[in-house]
Structure 1
Amino acid sequence: MNARERLIVGLDVPTLGEAEKIVSTLGDDILFYKIGYQLVFAGGLEFACDLAQDGKKIFLDMKLLDIDNTVASGVENIVKMGMSMLTLHAYPKAMKAAVEAANGSDLCLLGVTVLTSMDEQDLIAAGYEYDPHTLVLRRAEQALLAGMGGVVCSAEESAAVRKIVGPDMAIVTPGIRPAGSEKGDQKRVMTPADALKAGSSHLVVARPIVKAPDPKEAARGILAEMETAL
Structure 2
Amino acid sequence: MRENRPVIALDFPTFQDVKDFLAKFPEEEKLYVKIGMELYYSVGPDVVEYVKSLGHAVFLDLKLHDIPNTVQSAMKVLAGLGVDMTNVHAAGGREMMRAARAGLDQAGGEATKLIAVTQLTSTSEAIMQADQNIQTSLQESVIHYAQMTADAGLDGVVCSAQEVELIKQATSSDFVCLTPGIRPKGTATGDQKRVMTPADASSIGSDYIVVGRPVTQASDPVRAYQEIYKEWNHLP
Normalised by the size of structure 2, how large is the TM-score? Answer: 0.92
Structure with the higher helix share, 1 or 2: 1
Shift in CA distance, 182/107, structure 1 to aligned 2, threshold 3 Å: same
Note if contact 1:110-1:148 (Cα within 8 Å) is conserved in structure 2: yes
**Separation in 2 of the partners of 1:167 and 1:58?**
24
Corresponding residue number in structure 1 for 2:154: 148
Corresponding residue number in structure 2 for 1:189: 195
Q: 178-187 or 86-95: which moved more?
A: 86-95
How many residue pairs match? The answer is: 228
Alignment equivalent of 1:228, drawn from 201, 214, 234: 234
**Separation in 1 of the partners of 2:196 and 2:25?**
23
**Separation in 1 of the partners of 2:170 and 2:23?**
39
State yes or no: 1:83 paired with 2:88. no
Gap runs ≥5 in structure 1: none
**Separation in 1 of the partners of 2:9 and 2:29?**
14
Gap runs ≥5 in structure 2: none
Note if contact 1:123-1:130 (Cα within 8 Å) is conserved in structure 2: no
Note if contact 1:88-1:111 (Cα within 8 Å) is conserved in structure 2: yes
**Separation in 2 of the partners of 1:68 and 1:99?**
10
Q: How does 1:83-162 map to 2 (within 5 A)?
A: 83-90=83-90, 91-103=93-105, 105-126=110-131, 127-162=133-168
Q: Which amino acid aligns with 1:50?
A: Y
Alpha-carbon displacement from aligned partner over 1:55-113 (angstroms, at most 9, x marks no partner): 21100000001111100001111111100111100132221111222236111101100
Note if contact 1:88-1:112 (Cα within 8 Å) is conserved in structure 2: yes
Normalised by the size of structure 1, how large is the TM-score? Answer: 0.94
Alignment equivalent of 1:217, drawn from 220, 223, 235: 223
Identity %: 36
What secondary structure sits across from 2:23 in the alignment? helix
Alpha-carbon displacement from aligned partner over 1:171-219 (angstroms, at most 9, x marks no partner): 1000000000100000000000111111110000000000011100100
**Separation in 2 of the partners of 1:146 and 1:62?**
19
> Offset at 1:149?
1.1
